[in-house]
């Protein structure tokens, strides 16, 4: 899922496997991803994720992989290269995503980074 050991170890919150819920929290100040969601049917709801991707690698505020995740009413800002990265994520539900201060630190990739073959549903 990640580019190397340093990136993997620098994730603040990692939801893996199935049916996990991260709600009503703030995740901030990370060299890598703020939140990584992989597996099946995990949920991130009413969270603020900011100041992530300090290492200027392929890191983001919210990174997904897997199937059937729900991202609801989250605020992402001041992130590294992208605010939301979804790679090979099928059945992804994104509702009420707020993006603020979308400036990238180096090598801006944009707000969203999608990789074939899946994208948001």
Model confidence pLDDT, tens digit, residues 65-98:
999 999 999 999 888 777 888 878 889 999 998 8
Which tokens in the block code for residue 115?
């990789």
Helix count (H) and strand count (E) of the chain?
1, 13
Helices (H), the chain: 5-9
Does residue 20 have a pLDDT over 90?
Answer: yes
With cut-offs at 50, 70 and 90, classify the pLDDT of residue 4.
very low
The owner of tokens 């300090």 is 54
With cut-offs at 50, 70 and 90, classify the pLDDT of residue 49.
very high
N-terminal to C-terminal alpha carbon distance within the chain: 20
Full-model pTM: 0.79
Residues 6+ apart with CB under 8 A from 24: 45, 46, 47
Give the three-class secondary structure for 54: coil
């Amino acid at each position: 899922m990640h580019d190397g050991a340093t990136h993997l170890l620098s994730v603040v919150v990692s939801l893996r496997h199935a049916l996990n819920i991260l709600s009503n929290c703030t995740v901030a100040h990370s060299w890598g991803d703020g939140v990584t969601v992989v597996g099946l049917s995990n949920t991130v709801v009413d969270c603020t994720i900011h100041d992530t991707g300090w290492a200027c690698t392929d890191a983001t505020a919210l990174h997904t992989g897997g199937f059937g995740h729900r991202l609801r009413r989250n605020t992402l800002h001041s992130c590294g290269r992208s605010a939301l990265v979804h790679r090979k994520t099928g059945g992804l539900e994104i509702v009420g995503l707020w993006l603020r201060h979308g400036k990238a630190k180096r090598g801006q990739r944009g707000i969203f980074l999608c990789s074939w073959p899946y994208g948001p549903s």
